[in-house]
Amino acid sequence: MAGFRLQSSGLRALRPVAFGADPGGERMARIRRSPHFADGVFQNPGGTARTRPSGSTRDLAKLYLDKESRSRRAPRGAVPVHPTTLADISRAPATGLRLTWLGHSSVLADIDGHRVLFDPVWGERCSPFPFAGPKRLHPAPLPLTALGPVDVVVISHDHYDHLDLPTIKALAGTDTLFAVPLGVGAHLERWGVSAGRLRELDWHEATKVGGLTLTATPARHFCGRGLRNTQHTLWASWAVAGDEHRIYHSGDTGYFEGFKDIGADHGPFDATMIQVGAYSDFWPDIHMTPDEGVRAHLDLQGGDPAAGVLLPIHWGTFNLAPHPWAEPGEWMADAAAGAGQAVAFPRPGEPFEPAGQLPTEPWWRPLSAPVARHWDTAVSHGTAPAAPAAQAAPPVEGDLDLAGDR
């Protein structure tokens, strides 16, 4: 046993800093007291979620290695990133709420005089290593330093495509606060964020930042960054309420009935940011399809498609699943049109106000082969998204998966 401890100590010394840190001490004691922690791991709402691919590993590998399938998983040219400037995002939004999708799940929200930055990822790869793992399919719309002051950074969970070491280390040098799920603070402290700047929450706990109330709400997913997945850090969605507006960020999640409860407790929302990419029949419990994303949005809004705008996130920036690169956009356009739901399709970096004119151009189409529609739809192939209503794991996610984190 002594030899094993020496070996383990040596492995810890070689552990990449990007792996972060395991919770310990009072943080671990708090985790064990959580009503959502049982049998040594955090539990998902609605029971166990399959976090490893179902079906045949051979079929999954065959799908990933297929030459034609691979060619469809990336854009056929440069993604039209909006040339965002500091001046664009420094002006107060006329309606009090502005969202700027920065690619993948990264969104800057200007809400009631405050600035919230969700899941910021400026790194070139979502991986612990600079030489392997999924690489960005488009550049960040603007340098992180050009964002200007941010009141709070919100993290949904600790997978590499949501919690990015280079980005956090850069933000550690500012005075911004961080709102994170229970256990995730251990990573941030290792990377230079002081404990006094952390707001570490369990599901249904809330914190105040200025005039905003941020509440960690349930999600159906999992966690992990290293060679083994201890399930000792929580994953969450987030509800943010200001004096006049309410917004919701789903993080990564499978569909579950709890969206209705979140909406009843914290909605309706002026805008929701909903994960709709990196889905697969191989991991149906932990990511939503666009159809499920629209259903989740409507659950959050009490079934009313006129209650707020849906912003699709978690697509277009990294190749993380077998589906074609443009499929989430096409499927979401059809699903939203079928439900009569207002949906925004900004280019990465394009600011918009949910109560104003929404960006709806299908900007991805010139960069994609026609997408085969395998879903039921009332919108014919090739038509643009309907105008919105007027507004009055590949293999495993997280466990050192260099193919990509979903």
Tens digits of per-residue pLDDT, 66-103? 666 677 889 999 999 998 888 889 999 999 999 999 99
Give the model's pLDDT for residue 397. Answer: 46
Q: Reply yes or no on whether the pLDDT at 383 is more than 80.
A: no
Residue 22 has pLDDT above 70, yes or no: yes
Confidence of residue 403 (pLDDT cuts 50, 70, 90): very low
pLDDT band (50, 70, 90) for residue 9: very low
Q: What pLDDT, in 10s, does the model give residues 297-316?
A: 999 999 999 999 999 999 99
**Given this model, what pLDDT does residue 87 score?**
86
Q: Given pLDDT bands bounded at 50, 70 and 90, which one contains residue 396? A: very low
pLDDT at 240 over 90: yes
The tens digit of pLDDT for each residue in 337-355 reads: 999 999 999 999 999 999 9
Range with lowest mean pLDDT among 29-43, 69-83, 152-166? 69-83
What average pLDDT does range 225-232 have in this prediction?
72
Task: Give yes or no for residue 148 having a pLDDT over 50.
Answer: yes
pLDDT score, position 386? 37
pTM of the model: 0.89
Higher pLDDT, 402 or 118: 118
- 200-208: average pLDDT: 98
15-29, 88-102, 227-241, 324-338: which range is least confident on average? Answer: 227-241
58 or 274, which is more confident: 274
Question: Has residue 132 got a pLDDT over 50?
Answer: yes
Statement: residue 379 has pLDDT above 80 = no
- 5 confidence band (pLDDT: 50, 70, 90): very low
Query: How much of the chain, in percent, has pLDDT values that exceed 70?
Result: 83
Confidence of residue 391 (pLDDT cuts 50, 70, 90): very low
Give pLDDT, residue 85: 86
* The predicted structure's pLDDT at residue 380: 34
| Higher pLDDT among residues 372 and 265, named by residue | 265
- Look at residue 404 in the predicted model and tell me its pLDDT: 41
Q: Is the pLDDT of residue 335 over 60?
A: yes
pLDDT given at position 394: 37
Give tens-digit pLDDT for 43-54: 999 876 666 655
Give pLDDT, residue 47: 72
Answer with the residue of higher pLDDT: 5 or 173: 173
CA distance to 28, 256, 300, 321, per residue, from 295 (Å): 35, 10, 9, 21
pLDDT at position 376: 80
Q: Is residue 378 scored above 60 in pLDDT?
A: no
Average pLDDT over the chain, rounded to an integer: 87
Query: What integer is the mean pLDDT of 241-251?
Result: 98
